[in-house]
Amino acid sequence: MSQPVPPPNQPHDAQPGGNPFAGQQPGAPTGNPFAGQQPGDPSGNPFAGQQPGMPFAPPAPARNNLGLGLAAGFVAAVVAAAIYGAIIGATKHEIGYAAVGVGFIVGFAAGKVGGRNPVLPVVSAVLALVAVYFGQLLGEAMIAAKELPVTVSELFFDHFSLLNEAWKAESDFISYLFFAVAAVAAFSGAKKAGE
């Protein structure tokens, strides 16, 4: 009527030890397509047996070119002073972050182009002081040119002493603080960029 059911997970022709692969001959096909290959690295890295490649080239050292660093710092100071003056002329206020930006731009340009020369951070700080000063003068000239019937270039070139006196009259502690902040930013920017 009914047939006996073998226990689960047991083949009908079970081997005496319970191992279905016990009766196989050595070298018999096992169904593994990679059986004929040599064993690889036990870590599983397929490239473990190969020779290592050439190491990456180190970055080029920063140039120690004082002349180019000074030129780059000077150009950056002129551009940053013009931008700082335009910001002051447009807003009619001195902005501290802009003075920090002036110093950092001057120092970064000098340090990046000039390299690790120890003179560059000091010269960058001096150039940043000059750039902030001329930027503030340019801003004063822009503000005055809006109120007076003269141009900015007339004020800046023909009446520079009058413009300088007006700047002295309006300068306060914050103005001088911006000088110090710009000099520190230029010094540290040149040091970091030169590394």
Q: Is residue 125 part of a domain?
A: yes
User: pLDDT tens for residues 33-65?
Assistant: 666 666 655 666 666 666 666 677 776 655 678
Residue 25 lies in a domain: no
How far is Cα 143 from Cα 86, in angstroms, rounded to an integer? 10
pLDDT at 40: 57
Express each pLDDT in 173-183 by its tens digit: 988 998 999 99
**Distance of alpha carbon 94 from alpha carbon 164, whole angstroms:** 16
pTM across the whole model: 0.66
Q: How many CA atoms lie within 13 A of 132 on its CB side?
A: 32
Question: Is the four-CA dihedral 99, 131, 146, 171 of positive or negative sign?
Answer: positive
Segment 105-122, tens digit of pLDDT: 999 999 999 988 899 999
Structural domain containing residue 115 = 66-194
**Number of domains within the chain:** 1
**Is the pLDDT at 161 greater than 80, yes or no?**
yes
Of the listed ranges 94-98, 115-119, 151-155, the least confidently predicted one is 94-98
